[in-house]
């Protein structure tokens, strides 16, 4: 703005008329410069926002994560998922966790974590395990409850309950699900999935010879678990069918059967419909 007084001084002595003209011209120049600068800033801002919105990557992932936390924190979910071996529970559990932000609680993982960390519950469980005895249901349920307390956005129980006694023990601990998801897959499909399954011992990732082969660079180190064979699986399926009715009876009105013999996106869409709905939708009630 130093130009204004400068122009006034230059024009002194040439008459007031010329001075006013010079001042007016200088003011117009200043306003035009300011307007151009602001317009450029706005245009740059729009361009940057548009470019940021179109670029995938960590920033976009962080934004999605914030949405998940906001979604889950205002409406915690309490979910049980059940299904036969190789029914696709692992895949769907990860998708559920990603969307709802719930804490995934697997019976085996939680038990091993408590034993490894030497918690009070873990020490009690280890005593049974060292003696070659089964860990009592009441102790398992206490571990489940302890894990669930750390799930502020809700929880997802995987692998429990399996029996009527476990259903009752879980209810006594106060872990009441909003929805119970039961994945239904024909035995023939389960066997094909199981016998073709491969495991990467370094990463823990699971692959399949036919449907999801491992990348060539890691294929040689992938192995098949000793229990991933038809004979073992049929025994496990028999046990699952015996326990299935206990789950259905224990959660009648809350349990929803989902066709698990489809692509994972279609399955997940039905699971989300069942979780989000107040009634039973996105699948069929499991009555028997």
Alpha helices in the chain (DSSP H): 3-10, 16-54, 58-74, 89-100, 107-117, 120-130, 137-148, 164-172, 187-195, 230-250, 264-276
264 is catalytic: no
Which residues share a beta bridge with 77?
A: 154
99 is catalytic: no
Give the three-state DSSP class for 258: strand
CA angle in degrees (0–180, nearest 5) for 62-204-146 = 70
From the list 89, 99, 193, 244, the catalytic residue is: 89
89 is catalytic: yes
From the list 225, 241, 242, 252, the catalytic residue is: 225
Q: Which residue has the tokens 């960390």?
A: 117
Residue 156's contacts (CB-CB under 8 Å, 6 or more residues apart) are 77, 79, 80, 81, 93, 96, 97, 100, 102, 103, 104, 105
116 is catalytic: no
Residue 115 near residue 107 (C-beta atoms within 8 A): no
From the list 162, 179, 193, 244, the catalytic residue is: 162
Q: From residue 29, give the alpha-carbon distance in Å to each of 14, 15, 155.
A: 21, 22, 65
From the list 179, 193, 197, 244, the catalytic residue is: 197
CA 57, distance to chain mean position in Å, is 18
162 is catalytic: yes
- What DSSP designation does 260 have? -
Spatial distance between the Cα atoms of 41 and 47, rounded to a whole number of angstroms: 10
Q: Which two tokens stand for residue 98?
A: 């990603």
Q: Which two tokens stand for residue 279?
A: 């009634």
Catalytic amino acids? 89, 162, 197, 225, 236
């Amino acid at each position: 703005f130093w130009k204004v007084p400068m122009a006034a001084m230059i024009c002194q002595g040439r008459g007031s008329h010329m001075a006013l003209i010079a001042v007016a011209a200088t003011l117009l120049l200043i306003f035009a410069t300011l307007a151009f600068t602001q317009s450029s800033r706005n245009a740059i801002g729009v361009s940057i926002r548009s470019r940021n919105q179109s670029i995938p990557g960590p920033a976009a992932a962080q934004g999605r994560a914030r949405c998940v936390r906001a979604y889950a924190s205002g409406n915690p979910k309490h979910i049980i998922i059940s299904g036969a071996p190789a029914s696709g529970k692992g895949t769907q559990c990860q998708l559920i966790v990603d969307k709802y932000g719930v804490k995934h609680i697997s019976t085996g993982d939680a038990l091993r974590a408590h034993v490894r960390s030497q918690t009070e519950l873990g020490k009690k469980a280890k005593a049974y395990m060292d003696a070659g005895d089964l860990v009592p249901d009441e102790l398992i349920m206490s571990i489940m409850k302890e894990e669930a307390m750390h799930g502020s956005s809700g929880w997802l129980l995987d692998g429990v309950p399996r029996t009527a006694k476990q259903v009752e023990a879980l209810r006594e601990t106060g872990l009441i699900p909003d929805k119970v998801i039961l994945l239904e897959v024909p035995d023939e499909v389960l066997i094909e999935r199981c016998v073709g399954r491969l495991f990467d011992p370094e990463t823990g990732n699971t692959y399949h010879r036919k449907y999801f082969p491992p990348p060539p660079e890691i294929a040689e180190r992938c192995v098949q678990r000793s229990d991933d064979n038809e004979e073992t699986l049929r025994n496990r399926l028999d046990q699952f069918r015996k326990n299935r009715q206990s789950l259905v009876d224990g959660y009648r009105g809350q349990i929803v059967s989902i066709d698990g013999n489809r692509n994972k996106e279609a399955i997940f869409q039905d699971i989300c419909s069942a979780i989000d709905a107040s009634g039973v939708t996105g699948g069929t009630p499991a009555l028997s």
